[in-house]
Amino acid sequence: MFTGIIQGLGTVFEQRPAGGGKIFGVEAEFILSDPEEGESIAVNGACLTARNITGNRFYVDVSPETLSRTVLGRVQAGHRVNLERALRLCDRLGGHLVSGHVDAMGIVQQRRAAGDFTLFTFSVDASLSKYIIEKGSITINGVSLTVNSCERDRFSVSIIPHTLAITTLGQLHEGDRVNIEVDMIGKYVEKLLAEKSMPGGGGRINSAFLAEHGFL
């Protein structure tokens, strides 16, 4: 589990094919204190397993599924990536709960300055729109952000100068692809409501049900 608060950048110093997938060698630009072989590290928002950790360098195996569904399929040696180590129970939850399981890729439709801030508009598959709400949370390339506005197949976020400077979001241009992970809470709620509405599921969600359970 992650928070979407990027700890630092890393550089892919090696990339090679392996068993239909790829192996990346990554060097973090910050100290990997108390590294644990096999620990989870989010690379551009995708949860991967770190192995052969030496100093600030580690290797990750990237499956064909991850390569096809995330921007990691386009990453080459020399590219920089956002890195976040897994959340500990004693850590601050500065962003929101992020699983590191990328839902889909989005495309940068527009980037423009808005005073000291930078406003990005991303297009996404319309099937994700139901999970994206105004002022809700969303993860882009591993970065926890707040949705400014959203439509059927697009949404916008406003990024502060600090975030732009310390993550790879500052390198994005119109037409670039990004990893998108929507807020997992919406997906769980959807599944629970769907099961409630199924035959044998106890009936449909209605005002009487909501009142009975203290929502009204």
Classify 104-188 by CATH class: mainly beta
Prediction pTM value:
0.88
Structure tokens given for 181: 């992970």
What is the model's pLDDT at position 187? 86
Where exactly are the structural domains of the chain?
A: 8-85, 104-188
**What is the DSSP-derived secondary structure letter of residue 71?**
G
What is the model's pLDDT at position 185? 87
The secondary structure element, H or E, covering residue 150 is strand 143-150
What is the model's pLDDT at position 191? 81
What is the model's pLDDT at position 188? 84
What is the model's pLDDT at position 7? 95
Strands 117-123 and 137-140: unpaired
Topology match between the domains 8-85 and 104-188: yes
- The CA–CA distances, whole Å, from 154 to 117, 148, 172, 192 equal 19, 11, 17, 26
What is the model's pLDDT at position 91? 87
- CATH number 2.40.30.20 is the correct assignment for the domain at 8-85: yes
What is the model's pLDDT at position 155? 98
The tens-digit pLDDT sequence of the chain (216 residues) is 999 999 999 999 999 999 999 999 999 999 999 999 999 999 999 999 999 999 999 999 999 999 999 999 999 999 999 999 999 888 888 899 999 999 999 999 999 999 999 999 999 999 999 999 999 999 999 999 999 999 989 999 999 999 999 999 999 999 999 999 999 888 888 887 776 655 555 556 666 766 776 666
What is the model's pLDDT at position 93? 86
Q: Helix or strand or coil: residue 172?
A: coil
- CA-nearest of 129, 130, 112 to 121 is 112
